[in-house]
Structure 1
Amino acid sequence: MKTLNHWIGGKTVEGTSGNYGPVTDPATGAVTTQVALASPDEVATAVAAAKDAYATWGTSSLSARTAVLFRYRALLDVHRDEIAALITAEHGKVRSDALGEVARGLEIVELACGITTQLKGELSTEVSSRVDVSSIRQPLGVVAGITPFNFPAMVPMWMFPLAVACGNTFVLKPSEKDPSAANLLAELAAEAGLPDGVLNVVHGDRVAVEALLAHPDVAAVSFVGSTPIARHIHATASANGKRVQALGGAKNHMLVLPDADLDAAADAAVSAAYGSAGERCMAISAVVAVGSVADDLVARIKERAEEVTIGPGTDPASEMGPLITAAHRDKVASYVKGAAAQGADVVLDGTAFTVEGFEDGHWIGLSLLDNVSTDSDAYRDEIFGPVL
């Protein structure tokens, strides 16, 4: 079995904690990789490498930093298929979705390439009599990113390219469920000329997260994930004097008015609710149908949902893949199974769905619930699966 280790100080570093987590292929359910889970000491080693690198990277010129980023952007473009393949193998999303994720990450790398103008300070003259006010922008030092499973390449690329462009050094703690893309991103950054220690990747679970939140040399933390963990990240890191960006869950609504084009609305609802198996932070999981359009809209959504092809992400015919883990699949299914008991009408029940030849995969079909009360679990919780 493949073992995925940490990336610290510009090279692969074997895990020493003795703890490993399983990485599965969601389409087959087979464990394909074991990922090293970092101890607090290993996290400290990564932070130390980042701190050492900051001594020179933080004072390097903008032209030197952006030169690396331009080369990095070119390498990401060349390797986008390889990155997408890793995403499909460990997350399960279909190839077109995976390529779209890489493209969205590349957009932020391109933004970082133009960081020179963004880092200009400000000068306001005569704000009071003979008083001018100026501001300058400076790096913080070592910053950390804790990223989710649903976009294992895009969300890290929304964080570290901008951080390093601004002169910071970075410690990335990706999801242990689909960690391989993060290592490839770091390896390509090194190939582009990013100095050793500027970007580090430590894999792990809560132990590694808590170590980052408590480490005195980490100046700021950026997090994307569930709301309960976001609250914990914010409270713990800010209590330790760090700047914190903690992005939690959402229940995104789509409002359909009586004069809407119902075919367009149904198409949009199916794409927004079921794309990437609903494992998107911005997935539309609740549709509010106003007035007389409700039943007609539900019928049109049902008709379209039944036509969606579900299968392995490697199959070009697949429009939706499996969920990330069997445990997550079962959690999503529980909302559908409990909906009727809480007063909802189950228009489509995808909980028994499977794919021939891939019976052990983490499959669930598209589910559609109608007449959902606002105090039910399905309405109140972020389901994070193909349930509308």
Structure 2
Amino acid sequence: MQKIIGHLIDGTLVSSDSSRTQPVFDPATGAIRAQVALADASTVGAAIASAEQAFPAWRNTPALKRARIMARFRVLLEEQADVIAALITAEHGKVLSDAHGELQRGIENVEYASYAPELLKGEHARNVGPGIDSWSEFQALGVTAGITPFNFPAMVPLWMWPMAVVCGNTFVLKPSERAPSSTLYIARLALEAGLPPGVLNVVNGDREAVETLLHDPRVRAVSFVGSTPVAEHIYAEGCRAGKRVQALGGAKNHAVIMPDADIAQAVHALMGAAYGSCGERCMAVPLAVCVGDQVADALIAGLKEEIAAMHVGPGSDNTCDMGPLVTRQHLDKVRGYVDQGVAEGATLLVDGRTLTVPGHEEGYFIGPCLFDHVRPGMTIYQEEIFGPVLGIVRVNTLAEAMQLIDAHEYGNGTCIFTRDGEAARHFTDHIQVGMVGVNVPLPVPVAYHSFGGWKRSLFGDLHAYGPDAVRFYTKRKTITQRWPSAGVREGSVFSFPSSRT
């Protein structure tokens, strides 16, 4: 009998009342690892009720005590890093070193959350008027929720719920049903660290679970990371239901390679940015925009040499550079994009569609693919492939490269490779993208900044984690207080109050 992955509600592992389940695959072999229970509306409702019941006591727990739980939790994550990384690799397919890197970035967000007493300090002003003091406080919202993707089953949840709970909220997490085990394991470590039952609940599920979270009035805020069509739906439905919503969507990130760039550095950077995690990253770089044919030719020569040396295989093999894609369906989709690129006239220089890994013939493997002469309007230029496919775009000037980037519907990340400080400064000042790198291919902000794109890569006003997370998971309350002197009686005042009255 196959293992059933259930839910974590009110501090207890439970199975779903629903008879619906979905297989969880090992992408390296194609074999079914387990079945994950898909929560129905009543199961999600039970998680929300648990979070609602836990909220009053947790809201009134001192911020320092909440922060200390996060500090203990960070230690447990570090101690269990090998176990967590193995779970990520087993269900997502990424190589172990990449899984460890993902977890480390999540741990850094937990560490930032442990600064809660400092982050939640309000503002105070004495004598804003005669005998009047005023101050602001950052108060918790209540029950909050997060919906997270398969490609970062550890890191993205750790972007959300640690900051939410240290701000005094309770949380219901709906992770991807494709890779649920590491997320659930991490949540159990949080309980071990001292998080009270009900403060964090995890429900595995599909659209029924998502829609329940969106429409239940007890849920005050929703965070989401995923594709743009789903992000747009969640933002619209959540806002219509009166919730605070941040929804991070898709990307099509361009790397600009200038004539003065260090080509060897650019090649090495693009190898990881395009093919790391098999391209299943919203900050991956699937387009290299080369300023001049000489730059393009030199870049291609370096890339082809590096690609030939790549080792593709199961993520659990420490000698591998790239593992499989997450599902058979996604493998077919990525292959279809490569087919379409050829049909639309791009030049396929490296074809990974026929790759087979000995002993893993049923795994979801595709080799790195490299296109030249990719142009705007082609499907492989416009759409997010989410696979190991890099396209070379040829332009004549930096201005032309920037026009292409600004015209694209996505504005998540971009980067420029150059030795010219003036060009770099012009690029960073004027490009219409939310996260920009200079000689850095994956400009993912550190935990004490915030993550988010522009245009159709982000719906909502506030970015993920960092300082914006405090603003998203709290509401500001401003108190103005006056204590008249004993025995002093004042007459009625009909003018609008000001510092003069």
Q: Shorter-chain TM-score: which interval?
A: over 0.9
Give how far 1:74 is off: 1.2
Partner of 1:347: 349
CA contact (8 A) 1:277 1:321 kept: yes
Distance in 2 of aligned mates of 1:208 and 1:140: 21
Distance in 2 of aligned mates of 1:356 and 1:79: 31
Partner of 1:359: 361
SS at 1:270 equivalent: helix
Distance in 2 of aligned mates of 1:27 and 1:124: 60
Partner of 1:157: 158
Distance in 1 of aligned mates of 2:195 and 2:89: 27
Partner of 2:317: 315
| Count of aligned positions | 388
Closer, same or farther: CA 274–128 of 1 in aligned 2, 3 Å: farther
Partner of 1:385: 387
Partner of 1:106: 107
Q: Deviations over 1:153-183 (max 9, x none)?
A: 0100111111111110000000000001111
Partner of 2:289: 288
Give how far 1:55 is off: 1.6
Partner of 1:264: 265
CA contact (8 A) 2:312 2:321 kept: yes
SS at 1:185 equivalent: helix
SS at 2:139 equivalent: coil
Closer, same or farther: CA 295–128 of 1 in aligned 2, 3 Å: farther
Partner of 1:305: 307
Give how far 1:139 is off: 0.5
Partner of 1:223: 224
Give how far 1:316 is off: 1.1
Partner of 2:138: 137
Report the more deviating stretch, 59-68 or 354-363.
59-68
Within 5 Å, which residues of 2 pair with 1:192-207? 192-207=193-208
Partner of 2:277: 276
Partner of 1:122: 123
Give how far 1:306 is off: 1.8
Partner of 1:255: 256
Closer, same or farther: CA 131–351 of 1 in aligned 2, 3 Å: farther
Distance in 1 of aligned mates of 2:210 and 2:20: 15
Distance in 1 of aligned mates of 2:15 and 2:382: 42
Give how far 1:75 is off: 1.0
Give 5+ residue unaligned stretches, structure 1: none
CA contact (8 A) 1:343 1:373 kept: no
Distance in 2 of aligned mates of 1:57 and 1:161: 13
Report the more deviating stretch, 128-137 or 219-228.
128-137
Q: Deviations over 1:259-300 (max 9, x none)?
A: 111111111111110001001110011100001311121121
Partner of 2:86: 85
Give how far 1:128 is off: 8.8
Distance in 2 of aligned mates of 1:189 and 1:239: 33
CA contact (8 A) 2:64 2:116 kept: no
Distance in 2 of aligned mates of 1:237 and 1:58: 23
Within 5 Å, which residues of 2 pair with 1:35-50? 35-50=36-51
Closer, same or farther: CA 129–280 of 1 in aligned 2, 3 Å: farther
Q: Does 1:76 align with 2:74?
A: no
Residue type at the aligned position of 2:40: S
User: What is the identity percentage for the equivalent residue pairs of Structure 1 and Structure 2?
Assistant: 54
Partner of 1:58: 59
Q: Deviations over 1:94-128 (max 9, x none)?
A: 11001111111100110111111011112356889
Q: Could you tell me the TM-score, scaled by structure 2's length? A: 0.76
Residue type at the aligned position of 2:311: T
The counterpart of 1:336, out of the listed 335, 338, 344, is 338
Residue type at the aligned position of 1:36: A
Distance in 1 of aligned mates of 2:237 and 2:73: 34
Closer, same or farther: CA 135–299 of 1 in aligned 2, 3 Å: same
CA RMSD of aligned residues (A): 1.4
SS at 1:304 equivalent: helix
Residue type at the aligned position of 1:227: T
SS at 1:87 equivalent: helix
Distance in 2 of aligned mates of 1:294 and 1:126: 65
Partner of 2:10: 9
Q: Deviations over 1:27-86 (max 9, x none)?
A: 000011100000011110000000000021011111221121111111111111111010
Give how far 1:373 is off: 1.4
Distance in 2 of aligned mates of 1:261 and 1:73: 38
Distance in 2 of aligned mates of 1:129 and 1:331: 68
Distance in 2 of aligned mates of 1:130 and 1:372: 69
Distance in 1 of aligned mates of 2:135 and 2:142: 22
Closer, same or farther: CA 280–128 of 1 in aligned 2, 3 Å: farther
Give 5+ residue unaligned stretches, structure 2: 391-501
Give how far 1:134 is off: 3.1
Residue type at the aligned position of 2:185: L
CA contact (8 A) 2:274 2:285 kept: yes
Residue type at the aligned position of 2:43: E
Residue type at the aligned position of 2:232: R
Residue type at the aligned position of 1:50: A
Give how far 1:302 is off: 1.5
Distance in 2 of aligned mates of 1:127 and 1:303: 68
Report the more deviating stretch, 22-31 or 291-300.
291-300
Distance in 2 of aligned mates of 1:315 and 1:271: 18
Residue type at the aligned position of 1:269: L
Closer, same or farther: CA 383–128 of 1 in aligned 2, 3 Å: farther
Larger radius of gyration: 2
